[in-house]
Chain A
Amino acid sequence: MANRLEIQDLWVSHEGKTILKGVNLVLPLGEVHALMGPNGAGKSTLGKVIAGDPNYQVEKGRILLDGEDITELTPDERARKGLFLAFQYPVEVPGVQVANFLRLALKERLGQEPPIAEFYARLKEAIELLDWDESVLSRYLNEGFSGGEKKKNEILQLLVLRPRYAILDETDSGLDIDALKVVARGVNSMRGPEFAALVITHYQRLLNYIVPDVVHVMMDGRVVKTGGPELALELEKRGYDWLKAEVAGA
């Protein structure tokens, strides 16, 4: 059971309303999976619940990280075990500089103060990969960032913190094609046997640049279909209605 993120029969409610209704999903290390589905299917909720958002109540089921049940762990404990959520709406934190924040986060990730040289090497490499400027490091975290910059900043954090499992929640939304390519380049640079990603998206467009190994489709709080990359193309062509009919008929 090691080397995978596994969701087992996960039921979740928010403000009294049940949103996830028995999600099952396995993300093995070394793979990139796409999670697609219509609005309101519960994709973003799943991302937040995996990260440990306290606004959601897990009614039933488990989340296993490398075989360990993390369902009851706090968000920071999960992150230190190698989990990362790139937010759909990154939060502005005025007064906290990007560089200071990253150093503190990396210290927690590594369990010790990172050597200064290594820290700056990671920063420099990540900033170059994202076609960015070092001036971002002295800015306050996401404050006054454009929508595209906020998404880039999520990927910057991903590159510096190097988690084992990353969930990218609609990182493509609001990006123009150039920004999309930059973000995809960042994620693709992480690919390898020690990294897995769950890419949540509405559109097939991102998947042209981050080609998934597996595609899952969520509807009404459950994963209703799992297939290869061709499933994303089919959804792009035919929409979700045929799948709805198929699920209803089953």
Chain B
Amino acid sequence: MIEVLPANPEKLAERLGEPGWLKEARKGAAAVFKAVPWPDRKTEPWRYAAGRLKNVPFDLPLALPKERSLSRDALPAVVRKRLADADLAGFLVFLGPDLVYAELAPELEEKGVVLTSLHQALRSHPELVEANLYKAIPARQKGNAEDKIPALAAALWTYGAFVYVPAGVEVEKPLAAFFVSEAEELEVSRTLILLDDHARLAYAEEHLSESEGEAVHVGMTELILRPGARLVHANVQTKNRASHHLYRQRALLEKDAALKDLAVNLGARFALSEVGSELLGPGADSEMLGVYFAAGDQHHDHYTLQHHVAPHARSDVYYKGVAKDEGTIVYQGLIKLEPGAQKTDAYQTNRNLLLSRKARVESVPQLEIAANDVRCSHGSSIAPIDEEQLFYLETRGIPRPSAENLLVAAFLEDVLGRVPLENLAHHVARVIEEKVRV
């Protein structure tokens, strides 16, 4: 772990040609980074991950844009493979910190839909970016250990996506962004997705690796949903086993806004995913789904936050994890209801399936309720794979790895079935199948 940032945030802002307000924000974040300690076991979402954090090489050189671009045919093979069975209205491809390829259906462009890099958006839509960046994940946090990594991310991000859907515009086919990590770098990204009143969008972000080298990625995603907006959002991580992947996502949901979110962690050696929704307006609805599968010595750590500020809002978390070999899977979640959040419906469920005795699992759902007229429930379960079911399937000629795969797929079926991105759900199911068999 490092005590000094690997780059000077002010110089970075100058190098990247950023406006003054952003330079100031980076400076402020750098001050927070300097002031707060690294998370340890007592830091809320880090209870089980603090040990892993020590092995993350934050001292790798910061990934700086090199202004590369690629033709569609020259895109990394992992991306071309994904594009082959996706039906997208537009997508971005980042190779390390460079946006190397972008395309967007012309009719969406005409309607004012924006799909580009955040730095490009700083030039093309400066007022939108300034008004919304750091809104869901502030650059200057309260100042405790939990803020160490978000502060690093706010001070040092060098790339990321910007998506904007104007009021009333409905994007029918999904948009996507592919982030291909490069080895031996510290990659710090920031994504901002902004849906104006009653806009509709489905967007999937995938994090992949092209090589087998070690890499660190710190990513922050801010989702802003104006009144009546509806967003389907997925974050799918299938990186190589030498990667470290730290991800935080916060959504702000105004009146009657609806988010359906899917967090998937299948790759990386260590992945921590913190996903939160702030229900700021009545009628807001946040459904947060999660699927993760740790094998070998992988550690997949998840934290969810359902923060109800407004009354009459609904949130539902459904996270399912699988672990085999000596994999570790962790789920922690908090339903937090402010005093004004009457008539809230909030649910939280975490289920875990273990394929080996050496796998480790933690499941910690929590409620913090300051309102009295609400409906809340939470539940969690941990179970080994059912030997009787396995034997039954085996007696029908199905070999054990296939039988295990069938049971894992059956276990995850209800989560993946709730994702309205069919191609993506199939892709996730295929990656899981490969992991069960190896």
Contacts and interface: CB of A to CB of B under 8 A. Distances in A.
A101 B403 CA distance: 10
Task: Name the residue in B397, B399, B403, B406 with the highest tally of chain A Cβ atoms < 10 Å from its Cβ.
Answer: B397
Interface stretch (B5-13, B160-168, B181-189, B408-416): B408-416
Nearest to A106: B397
Nearest to B403: A76
Interface string A63-80: 000000000001110111
Contact of B397 (A93, A95, A161): A161
A91 B399 contact: no
Contacts of A140: 410
A151 to B, nearest CB: 14
B430 to A, nearest CB: 15
Nearest to A143: B410
B410 A93 contact: yes
Interface string B94-106: 0000000000000
Given A93-B410, A95-B411, A95-B414, A80 B397 contact: yes
A95 B396 contact: no
A104 B398 contact: yes
Contacts of B395: 51-52, 75-76, 78-79, 84-85, 87
Contacts of A93: 389, 392-393, 406-407, 410
A105 interface: yes
Interface string A123-161: 000000000000000001000000000000000010001
A54 to B, nearest CB: 7
Contacts of A101: 393, 396, 406
Contacts of A79: 394-398
B406 A104 contact: yes
Contact of A87 (B392, B406, B413, B414): B392
Interface string B251-278: 0000000000000000000000000000
Contacts of B387: 54
Task: Name the residue in A84, A91, A92 with the highest tally of chain B Cβ atoms < 10 Å from its Cβ.
Answer: A91
Tell me the interface secondary structure of chain B in the complex: helix
Contacts of A54: 387, 391
Interface residues of A, number: 28
Contacts of B411: 95
B402 interface: yes
A61 B383 CA distance: 36
A220 interface: no
B413 A95 contact: yes
Interface string A151-193: 0000001000100000000000000000000000000000000
A161 B396 contact: yes
B406 A96 contact: yes
A111 B407 CA distance: 21
A84 B392 CA distance: 11
Contact of A76 (B389, B399, B407, B413): B399
Contacts of A80: 397
A94 interface: yes
B388 interface: yes
B402 A75 contact: no
Contacts of A157: 396
A53 interface: yes
Interface string B303-346: 00000000000000000000000000000000000000000000
A76 B392 contact: no
Nearest to B406: A96
A90 B406 CA distance: 17
Contacts of A52: 394-395
Nearest to B392: A91
